[in-house]
Amino acid sequence: MKSAPFAYHAPASVDEALALLAAHGDEASVLAGGQSLLPLLAMRLARPAHLVDIHRLDELHRLEVDGEHVVVGAAVTQRRVERDARVAEVCPLLADAVPWIGHAAIRNRGTVGGSLCHADPAAELPVVCVASGATMTIAGTSGRRTVAAAEFFEMPFTTAVQPGELLVDVRIPVRRPGERWAFLEVARRHGDFPLVSVAVAGDAIALGGVAGRPVLVADVDAARDAVTAADDIHATHEYRRHLAGVLVERTLARAAAA
Amino acid sequence: MISVALTVDGHAASATVEPRTTLADLLRDHIGATSVHLGCEQGACGACTVLVDGELARSCLLLAAQCDGRAVTTLAGIGAPGSMHPLQEALRDSHGFQCGFCTPGFVLTALALLRDNPAPTEAEVRAELSGNLCRCTGYQSIVEGVLVAAERMAAE
């Protein structure tokens, strides 16, 4: 037991959850699967006074194909997406990317919404969402709004979701006929956060791990120039530039073969 | 304080704990399920891996509060001295452990692997076990043990 103390809430409705989040503002954190939040709590990098567990909110467990989009509720686990045959059929990019996330034990508990809201600059799902032009539905006590993925991710670990708000779902466009798609990443070990990841959806190419948030680029040269990440213990700036170029080439080749 | 009631290895268990109590702490400190080993306590090492409703989970990355009403399986729930699971026997025969600290997590991870993929390749075994760390670096014999278990379980 390494976390600082907190109060635990498990609201039964979205309205109840929003009331709790509004009442506690930035003193509250949303608990989805906890696979990003619990390490932060254990290291005391996060010390929320209140945890609002969203697992009882039925609406957040929707996983449906709704015409032109796959609607993924914020509390849907990554494993459920991975195992869903419909998702693999209509949104192959998402199915291509999810197995790269962590390990099976992590994906069993980790949620799509949790990964998006955690907004690690190297995480897989934000890159997929930016490449495919997904939109996020955010609820607050004053109503709901939608935000495009390109605006949702603001900087490392920071999204458009404000204190008092809750991500309800993400709507990922289904693949249109003839549209290319592929996801690839390079990590030091399988299951680690990637040094660089690339998602291709149609004409869009998005990179993760190279800057403070996923970035869209036009080509290989632009991919190298999009790298702003400084040297860190995992890779130098120069190596990430090299990887960005190589990985975009490889991902485009994979997309061409898919 | 919050009350949590769950099933551990087929037995009903309950406890009243602080909200910040993890499932790992609940199992070890309140229920006595000490086969659950705590290594890193931040989801990196895999030693505390258990099954929650039949699916792999890191018990250090779950709050006890999230497990109310759930069924947890630990190492003690799959075999015991004298009645070991074929996977445990295969790991023993292959010298698939050294100090043994990481073993419970490896066994449960391999158990879920063999359930979902009864005839894995060596590469698949290595990929599925890659989230579990062995500080003795006994990976070769662990992988061999899992492959031996797959053969024996297929022959049964």
pLDDT at A245: 98
B66 with B29, same domain? yes
CATH no. for residue B100? 1.10.150.120
Task: Point out the residues of chain B with pLDDT beneath 70.
Answer: none
pLDDT tens figures, A91-147: 999 999 999 999 999 999 999 999 999 999 999 999 999 999 999 999 999 999 999
Domains observed in chain A:
7-53 (3.30.43.10), 60-173 (3.30.465.10), 181-257 (3.30.390.50)
Residue with tokens 């993760």: A208
CB B50, CB B73: distance < 8 Å = yes
Average pLDDT of chain A is: 97
Contact A190 B127 (CB under 8 A): yes
Mind listing the pLDDT tens digit for each residue in A149-171?
Answer: 999 999 999 999 999 999 999 99
Do B57 and B120 reside in the same domain of the chain? no
pLDDT of B156 reads 81
Which of B52, B77, B102 marks a domain boundary?
A: B77
B139 and B92 in one domain? yes
Cβ contacts from A onto B, under 8 A: 85
Q: List beta partners, residue A39.
A: none
Q: Where are the beta strands (DSSP E) in chain A?
A: 7-9, 28-31, 50-53, 63-66, 69-73, 135-140, 143-148, 153-155, 158-159, 166-173, 181-186, 196-201, 204-208, 215-217
Quick one: B99 and B60 in the same domain?
Answer: no
Residues B68 and B6 in one domain: yes
Same domain, B61 and B104: no
pLDDT, residue A191, reads 84
Written as six digits, the tokens of A203 are 């004409």
Based on the fold, state whether residues B61 and B92 are members of the same structural domain. Answer: no
Neighbours of A56 (CB within 10 A): 14
Considering B32, B47, B77, which residue would you say is the last residue of a domain?
Answer: B77
Whether the Cβ atoms of residue B139 and residue B112 lie closer than 8 Å to each other: no
B124 lies in which domain range?
A: 86-155
pTM greater than 0.90: yes
**CATH number (domain holding residue B9):** 3.10.20.30
Q: Are A39 and A193 in contact (CB under 8 A)?
A: no
Q: Are B60 and B97 contained in the same domain?
A: no
By Cβ distance, the residue of A6, A8, A105 closest to B109 is: A105
Residues B38 and B64 grouped into a single domain: yes
How far is the C-alpha of B38 from the C-alpha of B23, rounded, in Å?
Answer: 11
Whether B10 and B38 map to the same domain: the answer is yes
Question: Is residue A1's pLDDT more than 80?
Answer: no
10 Å CB burial of residue A74 (0-12, 13-18, 19+) is buried
Domain count, chain B: 2
Reading the block at residue B107, the tokens are 């066994």
Predicted confidence at residue A60, as pLDDT, reads 98
At A192 the pLDDT is 87
CA distance A22 to chain B (A): 21
Q: pLDDT digits over A35-83, tens only?
A: 999 999 999 999 999 999 999 999 999 999 998 999 999 999 999 999 9
Pairing verdict, β A50-53 and A7-9 = parallel
Contact assignment for A105 to B46 by CB distance below 8 Å: yes
Asked whether A63 and A90 are in contact (CB, 8 A), the reply is no
Nearest to A73 by CA among A86, A90, A83, A58: A58
The last residue of one of the domains, among B77, B105, B133, is B77
Tell me, what's the pLDDT at B137? 87
Q: Do B42 and A189 touch (CB under 8 A)?
A: no
Same domain? B69 vs B123: no
In which band, very low, low, confident or very high, does the pLDDT at A190 lie, cut at 50, 70 and 90?
Answer: confident
**Statement to judge: residues B90 and B149 lie in one domain:** yes
Best of B30, B53, B58 to disrupt the A interface (most A CBs within 10 Å) is: B58
